[in-house]
Amino acid sequence: MKKIIETYGIPIKLWLEDIDSSALAQAGNLANLPFSCMHIAIMPDSHVGYGMPIGAVLATRDVIIPNAVGVDIGCGMCAVRTSLQEINNESLKKVIGKIRKVVPLGFKSHTSPQDIFLMPRLDKKKMVTVSEQYNKARHQLGTLGGGNHFIEIQLGDDGFIWIMIHSGSRNLGHKVASHHNKIACRLSDSWHVQIPEKWQLAFLPTDTREAREYAAEMNYCVEFALANRKLMMHRVQESLLDVVGPVKFDKLINKSHNFAAWEQHGGKDVLIHRKGATRARKGELGLIPGSQGTASYIVRGLGNDESFHSCSHGAGRRLSRKKAIRKLDFDAEKKRLDHLGVIHTIRHKKDLDEAPGAYKDIEKVMKLQADLVKIEVKLRPLAVVKG
């Protein structure tokens, strides 16, 4: 931990040396909520979000806040170590080509619904919004999406080739989050607790029907996001097998970083909201990606109580998407990736929103959270697929 700010309702504990003013203002709003408890934890990859900073952890009593989870509910990482110890560039390009054929990218979906048995179990009575979006979700199962979502083939310092995937609940999570946030906003006057509308932190008391319905649909989206990553991982593995022949795959490591769950901290049962933050209980494996030109990490949690057993979910943005496109030098960013030998996705100026220069230095981010996680494997990118 680098700093504690104690000028708000509860302390704000920071794992970074500086934080932009907008993200700090949002953290201050969280700390001033009457139902926030203990402290606010801000991870080293933190930057401004909607209502709550990305890379923040919030504990509440008796309320759940849809915007403190975000619109990509259940978004997270998964990774698998393969038995391969090397792969040449020609094979990598063939694998990437096959992946692009079997995993729809960006706004694309499958033309036909995916196997219903791959979908999480649905309780239609408790999950009205999910039920309405169910068929579309079946078409989006096993799809990557856009933004910072990626499929990466990496080489670990353990000597093995790894596969890593970052994706979430696609349009389903967005619909669920938007629907329940609107309900929370509409009912805000009913709770007799006045939260400024501009804070974007409308809440639902946990003893209400509305909160139970949101929690049920949120948890469904977390399960759907995992099912989505699993199906993509299966198809990436098939693509690798088609190109290089027999390969063994280790057990999947999976970590979500957008969710809310009841946990015990400081001897109290509290509702922990993680938005762009990864759970890191003592001994628990996790994943922290860099950018498509920098290292990613397999880590093991240290169970730090001060961070609510959490760590960063990545490097974190240094520049917004628009600023990255406007300010970064296309030739320099492309040359940097070419020099590293990475099969990357920087083809046009508009791709600069996902260039390495748009992100914080992952090495500094890892040093700032040395009290949160222990590094197990360092992974170097070889080839990247993005939406």
Catalytic annotation, pick one of 166, 313, 344, 348: 313
pLDDT in tens, 34-69: 999 999 999 999 999 999 999 999 999 999 999 999
Exposure string of 20-54, with b = 16+ CB inside 10 Å and e = fewer, is: eeebbebbbbbbbbebbbbbbbbbbbbbbbbbbbb
Whole-Å CA distances, 32 to 157, 220, 259: 44, 30, 21
Is 34 in contact with 23 (CB distance < 8 Å)?
A: no
What does the pLDDT average to over 173-192? Answer: 95
pLDDT band, very low/low/confident/very high, at 194 (cuts 50, 70, 90): confident
pLDDT at 125: 86
Averaged pLDDT for residues 160-187? 97
Return mean pLDDT, the chain.
97
Which of 272, 170, 286, 147 lies closest to 224, judged by CA? 170
Instruction: Tell me how far apart the alpha carbons of residues 53 and 253 are, in angstroms, rounded to a whole number.
Output: 26
Q: How far is CA 88 from CA 342, 381, 383, in A?
A: 12, 13, 11
Could you read off the pLDDT of 81-122 as tens digits, one per residue? 999 999 999 999 999 999 999 999 999 999 999 999 999 999
| Mean pLDDT of the region 331-338 | 95
313 is catalytic: yes
CA distance 217 to 71: 12
**Residues 353-371: pLDDT tens digits?**
999 999 999 999 999 999 9
Instruction: Identify the pLDDT of residue 189.
Output: 87
Report whether pLDDT(192) > 90: no
Mean pLDDT value across residues 326-344:
95
105 closest CA partner among 49, 67, 143:
143
pLDDT band at 193, cuts 50/70/90?
Answer: confident
Domains (range + CATH), the chain: 3-318+359-386 (3.90.1860.10)
Residues paired with residue 264 on neighbouring β-strands, in sequence order:
269
- pLDDT for the residue numbered 1: 92
